Amino acid sequence: MCRWFAYISPQEPCLLSDVLIDPANAISKQCSEHYLPQLLPHGEELNLDDSNDALMKMRNSLLNMDGLGVAWYTNAAANYVKGVEGQRPALYKSQSPPISDFNFRNLCSNTETQCLFAHIRATSGSVVTQVNSHPFVFGRHVFMHNGVVSNFPNIRRDMTDLLSFDAYCNVLGSTDSEHAAALYITNLTNNGAKDTWEKEYPITEMLSAMNKMIVQIMELQRKQLGDKAAPNSLNFCATDGRKMVATRFRNHATQQPPSLYWSEFAGRTLNQKYPGHPDGAGLVNEAATKGTDEQIGKHTIIASEPTTHDEGEWHLINAKCALTVDENGTEKEVTIQYDPKFDAVDPNFP
């Protein structure tokens, strides 16, 4: 399945190449390589053959080669454009694999930001084209997804009926994920027009809009397909540049959702200014300019896979839970609210 990486900090920027390219398990390397601590046996986190979970093997055997996207927040527009305040997202999308994309590598080596989304895509059936690559931008809000909205062709028309007019018009591609993004922004803005996308909303409202969207998807599936609806994998992430909400969700009684981790420490290991090395404690960071006693600013990373090899720096988000990060950088894990009657049977992995 897809992979994504998110970074947010109220004060500490990251260099894109530090977090997206240089580490041995950076997202740019996750097209084919995977590292899944707490989901695979200890010491065998790189070897999918050690998993007894057929669904996990299937998810992680796919090549994430169907598109690349990066969104990062910058003050550029606010510095020049009248009426714009605060950071806004810049967006880069490509159909090239990230490791061989010259423009992506050059951009990353010269760009810093306090809020970053990166995504590599493995299509679930829709066409491979730049507009179908994540992330998706709605004003100051950005959204991405790992997983699949099951039975999407069966509910697509009903799903579009729930969208605000401007959100519907902003859907440029054909993916389930972009329609989910449009439904999220519709919920967040209470069916607001395009100008409402420029506003900030409390983290509680961001979480509520995400939770509502997940339930709406399952309601449409039950309406159209009844008990034949298949379970969804809904690892969503949304941000306004200052706050972030992410979900790790699958509506199945026992199956695990796709992997999703978070860290409040890994940003220091990834930042080349500080001592430490993302690929192992025994390696030396020759580029460090800070002392071992110097502290890095508060930050949070949420990612499909850890990008440092110190398992102690990472927490696996619990199944059917969301992680919120407020404007002060405070993280909180909460349970996604839904009726268990929407748990579905997986016909491929009974």
Residue-wise pLDDT for 60-92, tens only, equals: 555 556 789 999 999 999 999 998 999 999 999
Cα 55–Cα 61–Cα 66 angle in degrees, nearest 5:
115
pTM of the model: 0.92
Q: How far apart are CA 183 and CA 191, in angstroms?
A: 9
Q: How far apart are CA 284 and CA 334, in angstroms?
A: 38
pLDDT confidence of residue 30: 80
* The residue type at 306: P
Q: For residue 340, say if its preceding peptide bond is cis, omega within 30 degrees of 0.
A: no
In the sheet that holds 321-325, the strands lie side by side as: 136-138, 141-148, 233-239, 244-248, 321-325, 331-335
pLDDT greater than 80 at residue 204 = yes
Buried b / exposed e over 16-27, threshold 16 CB at 10 Å, is: bbbbbbbbebbb
Give pLDDT tens digits for 114-131.
999 999 987 666 677 788
Q: How far apart are CA 99 and CA 32, in angstroms?
A: 11
* Ramachandran area for residue 44 (φ above 0: left; ψ -120 to 50: alpha; else beta): alpha
Burial of 208 (0-12, 13-18, 19+ CB in 10 A): middle
Taking each continuous run of H as one helix and of E as one strand, the counts in the chain are 9, 15
Give pLDDT tens digits for 31-71.
656 677 777 654 454 555 555 656 554 555 555 567 899 99
From residue 182, give the alpha-carbon distance in Å to each of 94, 105, 196, 336: 21, 30, 13, 20
Q: At what angle do helices 176-188 and 152-161 cross, to 10 degrees?
A: 30
pLDDT greater than 50 at residue 227 = yes
pLDDT confidence of residue 347: 87
What sign does the dihedral 155-161-166-169 (CA atoms) show? positive
**9 CB-near residues (< 8 Å, 6+ apart):** 114, 115, 267, 297, 298, 299, 300, 329
DSSP secondary structure code for residue 195 in this structure: G
